[in-house]
Amino acid sequence: MSEATREIRTDYLARVEGEGAMLVRIRDGALEEVQFRIFEPPRFFEALLRGRRFSEAPDITARICGICPIAYMASSAQAMERACGVELPEQLRLLRRLVYCGEWIESHVLHVAMLHAPDFLGYDGAIELARDRRDLVELALRLKKLGNELMRVIGGREVHPVNFRVGGFYRVPAEAELRALVPELEWAREAARELVRWTAGFEFPDYEREYAFVALSQPGEYAIERGRIVSSTGLDIDVAEYEQHFAETHLERSNALHSTLAGVGAYLVGPLARYALSHDRLSDVAQEAAEEAGLGPVCRNPFKSIVVRAVETLYAVDEALRIIAAYERPATPAVPCLPRAASGHGCTEAPRGICWHRYELDAEGTILDAKIVPPTSQNQKTIEEDLVGVVRASLDLPDERLAHVCEQTIRNYDPCISCATHFLRLEVERS
Amino acid sequence: MHLVRDALPAAGGGAKLTAAAVCLGSPYRGDDAVGPLVAERLRRAGADVLDCADEPTRLLDRWACLDTLVVVDAVVGGGPVGSVRRVDAGSGPLPRELRLASTHALGVAEVLELGRAVGRAPRRVVVLGVEGCAFELGDAVTPEVAAALDEVVAAALEELARNEEPCTSVR
């Protein structure tokens, strides 16, 4: 290899969920190409849903992800309920939001403390961090356990919950079961504030981009389990109109599809998008913490997504307390949903961004067609564009350091490769 | 699908648990299925097998008070296919070669070390590694690995029987 040729390869990217690779090619000191290659095997969930009953979709799609099963269950259940023309009663909707808060807490805390924080502190991973900062790792583990507990109490178990159904739940918790969580949630509110202060103190690379943010939006609340799809570029649509504005393209190099927004191109979903589009709807406690952390109304530095995740963790804890305080056990755990020949669309805010589903049903409720768009595949093109920007700004770095910055850039997105596969080895070639 | 596979949460709560196994692997990837196959046999023999699920930090509370944890997984590069390697990880770090490959953000070996760093790890960890050679999606278990199952199960049961003070499970 000549002096002008530099090649860096990282075969498997660490601290992300699933299998994938990345290639960065640099020729004569200039960046030539950046590629993601997702080689996690495709799992054909959309195909195996065809021919199944509409009522089976939440349990089947939950198996797409062990970190964020609620996102798949909530989006598919919402799609089926819309297809049946059913709207959930308020208390059942709030229970869905509450179990979703549990998923946000456990997923965000895992990523913030165990997977992403080591990047900013110079550790190889969570083990080294735990040896130096046992207090913070213990705080994170306790917060995460609380998120899991919310999922267990409402969902029946922590992984792939069993208590979700189209129309509501199989069983709804008694008031006392939820109120028993209040003391730990009150501890968690302070712990999450500490998480925000800790992450806000990190040093962040000086990098910003004008992202096209896309998120759900719901008047009066920080959208999680319902809302219209809106963007920073002026889009404001019902979830049923998604396919008129967003396109998925298959690229030979990847088992995940690339998503684009018509007239815009790459777009960003997830914490930065939600925060930019709805930060004024966060609770007072979360807004104060964001302000103390110096976030401002819009954050365009993807490396600061770790701070936004911490703010969203605080919000999820606060929101869980609010929901539990007002909770009255619904008279029935579910409302009847009678199938009809119809299309049903569902979209909810998974921890990593919007998770969109469409199903076509026949009159008996058999699924004729299914389409599922997870958040990581929507962010894939934006991640590549971030890498281009970050590598161009860092060409003088030695290979090892450049590889680290690239990996850190990818981890900004908490990519869930397993979900996106329908993603990471890192290769940097310089010639 | 969910209705016929692991449909219900594992029974738990309050049982005295002193020793348990964690069996790693995918049933759909050739010799990687050795973990799930051993788990099934250990459960039939009445042993406690912890469900690793998709995110192993969830195991920290479950194994914190264990005297013995037996980890079963397929390994590569240690000898002839079907041979069984026993590594007593004691209380030190797991040997590098046994930082078992994981497609998850944090693997079981990393979570074990994380548990040690925060004082939540079993007293004794024994790894039983079965040498495999076929790991592609859809591969069958090789006859050599299938033939090693009885030996691994017997070794795991023997390790599980060698435990000391019981404690209350927090499963």
Report DSSP letters for chain B, one per residue: -TTTSS-SPPP-SS-EESEEEEE---TTSGGGGHHHHHHHHHHHTT--B---TT-GGGGHHHHTT-SEEEEEEEESSSSSTT-EEEEEEETSPPPGGGS---SSSS-HHHHHHHHHHTT-S-SEEEEEEEE----STTPPPPHHHHHHHHHHHHHHHHHHHS--S-EE---
Which residues 34-63 of B have a C-beta within 8 angstroms of A? 51, 53-55, 57-58, 60-61
B1 in a structural domain: no
Best mutation target among B106, B111, B136, B170 (most A Cβ atoms within 10 Å) is B106
Closest Cα in chain B to A148? B58
Predicted local distance difference test score (pLDDT) of residue A343: 97
Note whether A351 and A416 are within 8 A (CB).
no
ipTM: 0.72
Predicted local distance difference test score (pLDDT) of residue B100: 47
B170 in a structural domain: no
B7 in a structural domain: no
CA of A237 to nearest chain B CA: how many angstroms apart? 34
CATH code of the domain in which B130 resides: 3.40.50.1450
Counting the structural domains of chain B, the total is 1
Residues in chain A, pLDDT under 70? 1-20, 36-43, 252-256, 417-431
Residue B158 has pLDDT above 70, yes or no: yes
Share of chain B above pLDDT 70, in %: 73
Predicted local distance difference test score (pLDDT) of residue B39: 94
B110 in contact with A, Cβ within 8 Å: yes
Predicted local distance difference test score (pLDDT) of residue A1: 41
Find the CB nearest A138 among B8, B103, B118.
Answer: B118
Closest Cα in chain B to A63? B2
Q: Cβ contact (<8 Å) for A162 and B54?
A: no
With contacts defined as CB-CB under 8 Å, which chain A residues touch B110? 125-127
- The domain segmentation of chain A, as residue ranges, is 45-378
Residue B167 has pLDDT above 60, yes or no: no
B75 in a structural domain: yes
CA of A124 to nearest chain B CA: how many angstroms apart? 12
Residue B166 has pLDDT above 70, yes or no: no
Predicted local distance difference test score (pLDDT) of residue A43: 67
CATH (one of 1.10.645.10, 3.40.50.1220, 3.40.190.10, 2.40.70.10) for A45-378: 1.10.645.10
d(CA A282, CA A276): 11
**Using CA of residue A282, residue A283, residue A285, residue A287, what is the dihedral sign?**
positive
Structural domain harbouring B74: 17-161
A131 in contact with B, Cβ within 8 Å: yes
Closest Cα in chain B to A62? B2
pTM of the complete model? 0.87
**Span B25-70, pLDDT tens digits:** 888 889 989 999 999 999 999 999 987 666 677 788 788 888 899 9
Average pLDDT over residues B4-28: 67
With contacts defined as CB-CB under 8 Å, which chain A residues touch B6? 160
Q: Cβ contact (<8 Å) for B104 and A114?
A: no
Predicted local distance difference test score (pLDDT) of residue B75: 83
